[in-house]
Amino acid sequence: MLAWCGERGHDLCLIETMPMGAIDGDRMDQYLPLSIVRARLRQRFTLNETPFKTGGPARYYDVAETGARVGFITPMTHNFCESCNRVRLTCTGTLYMCLGQDDAADLRRVLRAGASDAALEAAIEDAITRKPKGHDFVIDRRTTAPSVARHMSLTGG
């Protein structure tokens, strides 16, 4: 894939699976730590760290042999929660302060109760103060239940 991307001028990004929502089958069958992928790639390619950023959580490397750039998104092996400033608002007015936790603020209820702009702002600020330090994701042979019940698609990326 690295060679193919290099020939066509594409970047490549991989991401570790996260334990969100119930799934059929064993999540261990889906989980491949990207530390292993990176080590295997380094047996064939020279990966040079680059400060390149897209605004997302990927850490990028330039691939010397192909000219491609490869990004790794590692919520499991090296989580990036310490620098996270994201919250997510669904189309139903639910504000999730973390992808990996269940806590949320129901802004639709606030709006439908006739809240003023100031009251709405206060509700948002209250929610932001509850933003957690990070997720508690675990994928191993003893932990089969998802860390959060909702699937990623409910919240968005």
Smallest separation (angstroms) from ligand SF4 to the CB of 131: 7
Q: Which of 2, 20, 99, 127 binds ligand SF4 (CB under 6 A)?
A: 99
Q: What are phi and psi of 68, to 5 degrees?
A: -80, 165
Task: Based on the shown chain and the rule CB under 6 A, indicate whether residue 80 belongs to the binding site for ligand SF4.
Answer: yes
Residue 98 in contact with ligand SF4, rule: CB under 6 A: yes
Single out the residue of 13, 81, 115, 124 in contact with ligand SF4 (rule: CB under 6 A).
Answer: 81
Query: Cα separation of 44 and 64, whole Å?
Result: 11
Tell me the chain's radius of gyration from C-alpha atoms. Answer: 19
127-131 contacts, C-beta under 8 A, 24 or more apart = 127/87, 127/95, 127/97, 128/87, 128/97, 130/97, 130/103, 130/105, 131/87, 131/97, 131/98
Shortest approach of ligand SF4 to residue 53 CB, angstroms? 15
- Is 93 or 134 the residue whose CB approaches ligand SF4 more closely? 134
Residue 105-134 contact track with ligand SF4, rule CB under 6 A, x = bound: -----------------------------x
Q: Which stretches of the chain bind ligand SF4, using CB under 6 A?
A: 79-81, 84, 86, 98-100, 134-135
